[in-house]
Structure 1
């Protein structure tokens, strides 16, 4: 639907044209009329007008003044001036604004309707041209993105020399390269834990899932990190190349900022895992580098991370590990258990244990449960309980000392926890042991 505004200080003309167009004929139009330039401005301040039919000479704000104001507020509005013979030269000067027609008032309503139809045809041709330009621009953006993906994928596979020169060239090609050539990158590789069916529909489902994963990554990385996801051509892993966003104002020392970026990436990958499971109903595993690498090393680093991912170290779905973790799962479990047994007197946190074995905390908890059948908190609790029983068997060890050696903070906390697990207070348990002897 097109909006038509009729402006003439002679009501007989404004009303006549309004009646002519309000029914619209074959074309539905939203028709309005006012009797002054000021009234037209008030209406134009509230709504968009596609076509303006205006008398060129009016008291107060005339047609030329109205045209000047309209083109500032609604540049796409087309104007048709109504003029008399004596105003012909005056109307002709209005043509400098473009998108303007003029009609002699003596030509009648039929000529005005014809001019309106011609104007609408011009608008529609313009819209089609704009749509074609927009489509061409969208296709160009898609081509640029595809080309960038292919070039980065070739660099990651080692088929193209990867270095700062490549990054600089990609930036100069106008491919929408968001990564900075002079700065190192963080790499991560990931893949869906379950393969998609080897069929056209499975292929399309895999592509759609990968695109969803890319959008999730963009969303969650955006506050601090800029990244490019490079999808494989088949069912292979996806790679992420990432850099910290430039810091505003004074930045932290480089080492601290790099450590913070690495932590943010690892924690965000865990968030992406949860989002993918919720959104797609599929689990995703990741392996991420523990430090940023220069452009020359992205191929080597990508192959190393992909190999770790392919070997499925640790087994189980939703793996999230770094490239510096030990190679065997039983060694990781043994290290965690040994640390717990040696540090029972401390506050044993999941974050500290994760740092010990270079795991994401959430994944360590999941991994430990997969390997042992116990939650980490259950394991720590069981070790403390067994150690408490051993020490309570020795009447020479005070209960306060037992509580301190097991990290309970106070004897009352120890007593509460022990009774909850065994049904007996520590002293009751000790007394029962003495009776048995």
Structure 2
């Protein structure tokens, strides 16, 4: 969803524009600020796509705000509202790309057209077929595979900085071996992909190549495909970001949250691929890479809901200690991928193929079948141990094949255990989704008089705003904004029963600073003004 921020120090203009654009239902996620500093604070916390701003404001004026926007979100479109005497300001503004201006006297019609034009430009920029072609020319598939193999080599243990520097240079890795790195895991939703290995690799490469166009402007990055077919990005702040190193990583994390959200949208529209992102909010040293990677993968498994289009930010101190890496035979690695990715259909399809092949090769028994049984049993047992499911899955027969009457019974038992694991995973995702939404509801009920913007609520549970909005509607059946409005109305009704409380005070308690805004909101919701409602109660 495209995010639009309205900035003007005159409240009547800000509120008027907000209401007009809201009523048009353009599909915008709307925000407002009454000063440049307030707008900048919002953009430090989330991506903004279009800014509609007064060019002359006390404190930070429009031009200073524009420069700050360019350093945070280079792709953001800016529309300035100006007076007749602002020619010098206008001249400076129009030198920058992505900036337009309107006279305040031109009315809402021109403003709406400027906003829809900016939306069209943004949507067109997400059609990236040409960018995919350009990215493919920059980085060959052979180089990608070589770098992926090197990543698996790095996960085996710590390497000296001098060794890393030499390897990076030879493999064309544009990262600094002396600086820490941010780790990002992208989990492709394999239910949308073919069972073919070639198709899965092609999809992962397409996403990786497309990501280059989003990340190269502000970061140095390496994207590789791990052993499970998922994408991993190793990222450092770009060398042009000349600020304190600690602040550079903080800004880069915020930048990545916004850029990966755009990447998800582009991949959905251009490639028909959805994927979840787990982003480590803290940089790790190269010697800690293996631990960071395992912890992020562990945390992604514990996501709420199906994870489609999710961006989850992980703080290392809040994540349980990772279980050591899995050790499975090469020919069963695809089973591990399906189990890890939650692809029930893919797992059972491959299990059936392996079982049929085993009975043909082993004629109903023999070493080959025994090897296959215990390899799959060990995979399932490893999964049960890592996710501590011993009390939920009956697994006593996994490593005791002799408990089963026949080989057919043995593999039927493995199938039942696998199906139980997929059922538990699905119910776990649903229960975590319900818990997350309940936490948001409780926060709303306890903070009705405060900022309840989508960005603020997303920060409460560390999800990106778009995913929270979709998950809330999915779990409750209503939009998040509708729930907030209903909660505020019910609280206002309750407070209006107390005669000693002034109507303006009631408005403040439910998040409306001005009596006019509260009255308009209340009447639009129930058909009466607050005063009429109170008088009705008295009668």
What CA distance in whole angstroms lies between the structure 2 residues aligned with 1:244 and 1:425?
Answer: 53
Map 1:81-92 to 2 at 5 A: none
How many residues align structurally? 289
Matches of 2:472 and 2:288 in 1, distance apart?
32
CA deviation vs aligned residue, 1:210-251 (integer Å, no higher than 9, x gap): 1211122100111101211111345x3221111111026xx2
Deviation at 1:405, TM superposition (A): 1.6
SS in 2 for 1:195: helix
**Residue 349 (structure 2) pairs with residue 245 (structure 1):** no
- SS of equivalent residue, structure 2 residue 171: coil
Matches within 5 A, 1:408-419: 408-419=512-523
CA contact (8 A) 1:225 1:243 kept: yes
Cα displacement (A) at 1:197: 5.6
Q: CA deviation at 1:209?
A: 1.5
Quote the residue 2:156 is aligned against.
Answer: 159
* Aligned residue number for residue 172 of structure 2: 176
Deviation at 1:331, TM superposition (A): 4.2
- Decide which of 265, 268, 288 is 1:297's aligned counterpart: 288
Q: TM-score, normalised by structure 1?
A: 0.61
- The equivalent of 1:360 in structure 2 is 464
- Residue 208 of structure 2 corresponds to residue 210 of structure 1: no
| Shift, 1:286, TM fit | 0.9
Q: How does 1:381-420 map to 2 (within 5 A)?
A: 381-420=485-524
Q: 1:365 to 1:344 in 2, by over 3 A?
A: same
What is the aligned counterpart of 1:269 among 231, 247, 260? 260
**Distance (whole Å) between structure 1 residues aligned to residue 481 and residue 160 of structure 2:** 46
Alignment of 1:303-342 (within 5 A): 303-324=294-315, 328-342=432-446
Alpha-carbon distance between aligned partners in 2 of 1:159 and 1:227, rounded to the nearest angstrom: 21
What RMSD, in angstroms, separates the aligned Cα atoms of the two structures? 2.5
Q: Any conservation in 2 of the 1:273–1:283 contact (CA below 8 Å)?
A: yes
Q: Return the alpha-carbon distance in structure 1 between the equivalents of residues 464 and 502 of structure 2.
A: 39
Over 6 Å off, 4+ runs? none
Q: Hey, what does 1:30 align to over in structure 2? A: none
CA offset digits 1:362-421 (Å, max 9, x no partner): 222223333333322222211111100101122222111111221212112111111111
* Structure 1 residues 261 and 400: alpha-carbon distance in aligned structure 2, compared to 1, 3 A threshold: same
Is the contact made by 2:304 and 2:436 (CA closer than 8 Å) also made in structure 1?
no
State the match for 1:14 in structure 2: none
Structure 2 partner of 1:257: 248
| Distance change in 2, residues 1:166/1:303 (3 Å) | farther
- 2: CA distance, partners of 1:287 / 1:197: 20
Structure exhibiting the larger radius of gyration computed from Cα positions: 1
Deviates more, 1:406-415 or 1:331-340: 331-340
> TM-score normalised to the size of structure 2?
0.50
| Partner secondary structure for residue 252 of structure 1 | coil
Q: Mind listing any 5+ residue stretches in structure 2 that lack a counterpart?
A: 1-136, 321-431
Unaligned runs of 5+ in 1: 1-137
> What residue number does 1:148 align with?
147
